[in-house]
Amino acid sequence: MTRIFLVVLFIILVSCHSHSKKEAEQKFDVSLLRQNEKFRIAGEYDSLINLNKRYYKQADRINYADGKALCYINLAELNISLENFQKSQILFDNAKKILDNSEDDIHKARFYNVYGHFNQKLRRAEKALQYNNEAMNSIQKGDTLELKNDLLFSIYFRQAIYLAEEKKYEQALEYFHKAKKLDGTGLTDCAIGDYVYMRKKNKDSAYKYVTVAYNKANLRRKEDGVALCANTIMGEYYLTYKEYDKAEEALKNALKINEKTKRIYAYYGKYIYNDLRVLYERTGDKEKAYLYLKAYTDAYYKTNTSLLATINQDMEAFITGAQKDTEQHKSKIYWIILLSLAGLSLLVLYAWSIIRTLGKRKEDLTIEAENLKIRMNDNKQEEIIELGKKNDPEFLDRFKEVYPEFIDQLLSINPGLESSELVFCAMLKLHFTSKEIANYTLVQHRSVQQKKYRIRKKLNIPSETDIYLFFDTLK
């Protein structure tokens, strides 16, 4: 009888402990994800980083692997906003390694949702939709009700954006309206106006939705990511429909908010500068147009480079700290094994197998990093070709990123080459035909031939040498 009582008591104690642990983990999830989203929307970079460092250590202390995965996903999402894609991939890999062994569907929904966003930014539209659908399936199976609505908003919102980008506007609207029911900020209204009605050139409906978002942002009196989006889209709306005074006011306000939030929303600055450049070009203020064109270029290179250097330093510190915590945890395991088995030989064998595993993982990560670099270069190549076709001012700057030594080699041959000539050489490097260059730059075919002749003279290219072959020999 006593044995039966002890067994029952043991089962009750284990059950209570298991229930208590599950409750603690759910509180961890809700607190982490809601605070992270609050800091992300507010553009509070330092608070977001410190929050995830603190929760990562807490997850390690209570042996909660999924908690660590959530921290990795949060920081991967931050790096997407900063267009720091290589760091995002590393953080996603760390999260996936944990979640492959997890049974928590809510955590998997969070991973798939953010990873879909990552693929969208890399212009993999089909992958973005695929992962978002995975998120939708996972969230339906999840049992943490407190987080379901929070995550559903983001899943619906991003599903709508992906569909709108595929010009499936009616389907996109369905998901936007689902998201809107879970959104009190006006962000969904802003997206409906931007992604659906402005693209369909429906002026009245676009104004209706963008204005709702703009007014809500002003009523909230917060200079955050929502207000940044609302003011930028409002400015672009007025710019599209030639209400230049109102466009200037909204875009200047967006620029002010961007100063506060740029450590999280770094990519916004260059778009706002470019909108202001277009505005002043249209209104005939060439001086301001040049000023904002220069600001756009500087923001693209100097500001983003500086910001990313800081971000990379923080990410490296986080990842190194996480690795140290893991190593310390392993060290404790080694000692337990040593004391339990009292056999140094077994410990050596175990350590040797760990080293082999780490070595193999390092090789795998190196291969993955190289593959990612190749994929990103392919994406950049496609991007600069599209910019060249549009004769976009950004074309030369983006070209320099993919071919960093090419322009330097040209200038070493002739330091006096003008910017327009460098653009022309870049187009030849990409094997644009004379006819294509004429079409894209809106000049006559004869003018392109004359420009080829002048380039030959300036770069001392012999007449018998094919000009395309010459540029192929340069890096």
Domains defined for the chain, CATH in brackets:
1-102 (1.25.40), 365-473 (no CATH)
CB 188, CB 176: distance < 8 Å: yes
The DSSP output letter for 240 is H
CA distance 311 to 288: 31
Sequence-ordered alpha helix ranges (H) in 264-343: 268-282, 286-298, 304-341
CA distance 282 to 289: 9
What is the three-class DSSP state of 93?
A: helix
CB 325, CB 60: distance < 8 Å: yes
CA distance 393 to 387: 8
pLDDT tens track of the chain, all 475 residues?
A: 555 544 444 444 444 445 577 888 889 988 999 999 899 888 888 899 999 999 999 999 999 999 999 999 999 998 888 778 888 899 999 999 999 998 899 999 999 999 999 998 888 889 999 999 999 999 888 776 777 888 999 999 999 999 998 999 999 999 999 999 988 888 898 899 888 888 888 888 888 888 888 888 888 888 888 889 989 999 888 989 999 999 899 999 998 988 888 778 777 788 898 899 899 899 998 888 888 888 787 766 654 443 445 445 555 656 665 555 555 555 555 555 566 565 456 545 644 655 565 455 555 444 444 443 444 455 677 888 888 888 888 888 888 888 888 888 888 989 988 888 989 999 998 888 999 998 988 889 898 899 999 999 998 988 888 988 888 888 7
CA distance 195 to 199: 6
**Packing angle between helix 2-42 and helix 225-240, nearest 10 degrees?**
40
Burial of 145 (0-12, 13-18, 19+ CB in 10 A): exposed
- The tokens describing 425, both together, are 């050489």
pLDDT of 136: 92
